[in-house]
């Protein structure tokens, strides 16, 4: 079940950003900015669900960090977009991300206690792996504006730390 969910989420993000029908040329800076903001917002929404449902202190600390860090990235991205005159443009890749996240949230909502904690953290591992791959492999290489490209690159260390943190917690929870 866990493997299936991870495979679905990673595949969804891959289709949304890489896609067999998508080439790098289809992504302009406005679309990339929207995908970046959407990806951050979706992790915030997932973290808010975790704060509603989890009683695990470490899971709650992780979720709080996700909200704090990703909100900060959104604010910096929004400020940069405003200064550059780039209006983030909704696109089917952002919508695909959002649709998949909605499905994940519904599945997590049916869980409680340690089952929720394990599933949430497993999803966070998969999600951050997919986002890192998308940022490195597609978003950064296809961003035209140097400042926007730098912002996306500068977020990567935070994403990698989030992934390390998620893996640590996921491993601890799976050992119980």
Partner 1 sequence: MAFHPAEVSARPGDTIVWINRDFVPHTATALDSAWTSPPLAVGQRWQMIAEATTASEYLCAFHPVMEARVSITSSNSTEEVP
Can you give the binding site for partner 1, defined by CB under 8 A?
Answer: 61, 64-65, 68-69, 72-73, 76, 154-155, 157-158, 160-162, 164-165, 168
Shortest separation between residue 160's beta carbon and partner 1, angstroms: 8
Question: Which among 48, 59, 38 has a CA at the least distance from the CA of 125?
Answer: 59
Of 161 and 174, which CB lies nearer to partner 1 in the complex structure?
161
Of 18 and 149, which CB lies nearer to partner 1 in the complex structure?
149
Tokens describing residue 13: 């993000």
Q: How far is CA 124 from CA 25, 78, 158, in A?
A: 29, 24, 14
DSSP three-state, residue 54: coil
Of 104 and 131, which CB lies nearer to partner 1 in the complex structure?
131
Tokens describing residue 113: 């206690």
Of 72 and 113, which CB lies nearer to partner 1 in the complex structure?
72
Shortest separation between residue 166's beta carbon and partner 1, angstroms: 10
Shortest separation between residue 163's beta carbon and partner 1, angstroms: 9
Q: If you ran DSSP here, which 8-state letter would residue 85 be given?
A: T
Q: How far is CA 23 from CA 10, 16, 18, 27, in A?
A: 18, 11, 7, 8
Shortest separation between residue 42's beta carbon and partner 1, angstroms: 18
């Amino acid at each position: 079940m866990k493997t299936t969910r991870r495979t679905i989420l990673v595949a969804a993000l891959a289709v949304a950003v890489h896609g067999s029908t998508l080439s790098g040329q289809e992504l302009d800076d406005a679309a990339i900015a929207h995908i970046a903001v959407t990806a951050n917002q979706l992790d915030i929404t997932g973290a808010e669900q975790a704060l509603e449902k989890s009683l695990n202190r470490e899971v709650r600390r992780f979720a709080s960090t996700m909200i704090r860090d990703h909100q900060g990235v959104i604010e910096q991205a929004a400020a940069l977009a405003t200064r550059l005159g780039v209006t983030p443009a909704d696109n089917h890749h952002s919508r695909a991300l959002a649709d998949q996240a909605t499905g994940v949230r519904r599945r997590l909502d049916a869980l409680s206690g340690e089952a929720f904690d394990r599933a949430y953290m497993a999803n966070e591992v998969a999600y951050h792996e997919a986002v890192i791959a998308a940022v490195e492999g597609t978003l950064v290489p296809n961003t035209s504006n140097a400042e926007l490209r730098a912002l996306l690159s500068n977020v990567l260390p935070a994403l990698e730390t989030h992934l390390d943190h998620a893996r640590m917690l996921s491993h601890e929870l799976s050992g119980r």
